[in-house]
Amino acid sequence: MAATFDITGIVQALHDARHSWRQTQRRNSEAGNREFPSRDALAAIIDSLKGVLFPMRLGPPDLRQESEDFHVAHALDAALHALLKQVRRELAYNAGLRGQGGRPVDEEALIAVRSLAAALPGIRALLDTDVMAAYQGDPAARSVDEVLLCYPGVLAMIHYRLAHQLYVLELPLLARIVSELAHSATGIDIHPGARIGAGFFIDHGTGVVIGETAVIGERVRVYQAVTLGAKRFPTDAEGNLQKGLPRHPVVEDDVVIYAGATILGRITLGKGAVIGGNVWLTHDVPAGGRIAQAESREGAFANSIGAS
């Protein structure tokens, strides 16, 4: 007996579901073209930009040093033109959300892509400090090349540094796609809105979460399963979440946060503080402070007594 399926009925049902969604979201069903940036296109662009930033290590396997600049020029030009298409899509999509559908975005897109291109040398310099922090901070690392080629924390930082620049250029959807590509590959979730200083080292990395409004200073080191998250989510008078409010920790220079620590709310970890493993922390830590599990529990108990 030949297998048969109700293809026509399913296609119609899927059509109806899409139409219903677009109506509830007030989407223009007559637009015809794809509205959103492409995740696959962004993945290819970021791979090219990684080769532009580190051509002899993340570029083509047969690249020779004497042709390095030629490769960088060719790959950069192609990547920027491809990125320009994706930027246009996001800007057009954002204009549609504001009721400005059809507004020309070509000039705005070109300015944004030129700004990203101009930022690449500075991004490379920052990434060099991240690579050195990983090499100097891990006794198992035998070379900076090993760190760049193998360490998930470094891969996550390459994506973050590029994504953050897109975020600064007010391209949040592109930025989030770029950061989520690294999240999928490494298990490290860094929101592109976070501000992270030079020399940041994520050791091992899996399960690290860094929220949108987190601020991290220089030479900070964190281990796997660390969360820099929000303690609460304020709502407006109608019960909707208030977006964009500072709600994640501020981590000053030279702080070390060990595996499994959960740090919540707009609190400050002072310069040189050390946060022990598996600590649950919702209060400020002074410069040079040391917090371990027992101290954290005692502090929480004392706070609860004071509040009762």
pLDDT tens-digit profile, the chain (308 residues)? 789 999 999 999 999 999 998 888 776 544 556 678 999 999 999 999 999 999 999 999 999 999 999 999 999 999 999 999 999 999 998 887 777 766 789 999 999 999 999 999 999 999 999 999 999 999 999 999 999 999 999 999 999 999 999 999 999 999 999 999 999 999 999 999 999 999 999 999 999 999 999 999 999 999 999 999 999 888 888 878 888 789 999 999 999 999 999 999 999 999 999 999 999 999 999 999 999 986 555 554 444 333 33
Asked whether this chain's domains 37-187 and 207-235+243-308 adopt the same fold, the reply is: no
pLDDT reported for residue 301? 42
- Burial class of residue 284 in the structure, from the number of CB atoms within 10 Å of its CB (0-12 exposed, 13-18 middle, 19+ buried): middle
Superfamily name with CATH number, domain 207-235+243-308: Hexapeptide repeat proteins (2.160.10.10)
Q: What is the CATH number of domain 37-187?
A: 1.10.3130.10
Structure confidence at residue 241 (pLDDT)? 81
- Asked if 148 contacts 118 with a C-beta cutoff of 8 angstroms, the reply is no
Q: Lay out the sheet containing 268-269: strands in order across.
A: 195-196, 215-216, 250-251, 268-269
Read off the tokens for 257. Answer: 């946060």
Q: Give the pair of three-digit tokens for residue 47.
A: 């791979």
Q: What is the pLDDT of residue 302?
A: 46
Amino acid found at 44: A
Which pLDDT does position 2 carry in this prediction? Answer: 85
Q: Taking the model in full, what pTM does it have?
A: 0.88
Instruction: Kindly state the percentage of the chain with pLDDT values over 90.
Output: 80
The pLDDT of residue 293 is: 83
The domain segmentation of the chain, as residue ranges, is 37-187, 207-235+243-308
> What's the maximum distance between 2 C-alpha atoms anywhere in the chain?
76
- Region of 138 (left: φ > 0; alpha: ψ -120 to 50; beta: rest) is beta
Q: Tokens 């507004």 label which residue? A: 103
What's the chain look like in SS3? CCCCCCHHHHHHHHHHHHHHHHHHCCCCCCCCCCCCCCHHHHHHHHHHHHHHHCHHHHCCCCCCHHHHHHHHHHHHHHHHHHHHHHHHHHHHHHHHHCCCCCCCCHHHHHHHHHHHHHHHHHHHHHHHHHHHHHHHHCCCCCCHHHHHHHCHHHHHHHHHHHHHHHHHCCCHHHHHHHHHHHHHHHCCEECCCCEECCCCEECCCCCCEECCCCEECCCCEECCCCEEECCCCCECCCCCECCCCCCCCEECCCCEECCCCEEECCCEECCCCEECCCCEECCCECCCCEECHHHHHHHHHHHHHHHC
Query: How much is the pLDDT for 304?
Result: 39
Number of H helices, E strands in the chain: 9, 14
